[in-house]
Amino acid sequence: MPHLLHIDASARSRSFSRDLTARFADAWRAADPGGGYTYRDLATDPPPPIGQAWTEICDDLLRHGITDPVRYAEVVTTPERAAAWAVVEPLLGEVLTADVVLIGSPMYNYSVPGALKTWIDQITFPRMSLAGKAFVVLSARGGAYGPGAPKAPFDHQERYLRDFFAGHFAVDDAVFLSVELSNTLVDPALGHLAVNHHESVTRAEAAVDELVAGLWASRWAG
């Protein structure tokens, strides 16, 4: 049965991105009570930034033409690399085990949270394909960044993740769903757009429910 890796990156303990990923995970696990499930909270347990030893591992993988993750440990040849690999191995193992990678990510400063970027850095190695895995990103933004919005060109959250998944992991069908205008709840200057925010939440929740059902029907039904 399929294995779900559920990742949250919001610095808030209660957030729209967390609510959406919880909704997805609950529906997924209800559809497959005996299936695999792994949860990682990057905000409460952030991975450390990559360092020199990590770069040495990458260099040797390229030098020796190693692209199979099963063989990565072959280049862990120094105590410093072993320490770096001790960070990488569990994170990478979770991704390799997963059939579906579910990521909850708010937009921070037009991009992704630092902890999510660090996680991506830690698990990514040269010519590493994750084709065949389903990637789902459920996000929240304080403003409006959808097609046609004045700030759409400033969206370096979805654009970055979509380009990265396709360009490095060979995953060109990642799914993105967003709640927008969450700042209408705290910023009086945006209060007149509160109804748009609530409509965005309703649409996103319905889309999450349809997405779970659609993934099961297209990949694992029957």
Annotated binding site for FMN: 10, 15-17
Crossing angle for the helix pair 79-97 and 114-123, to the nearest 10 degrees: 100
Residue 70: which H helix or E strand, with range? none
Known binding-site residue numbers: 10, 15-17
Quick one: tokens of 204? 């996103």
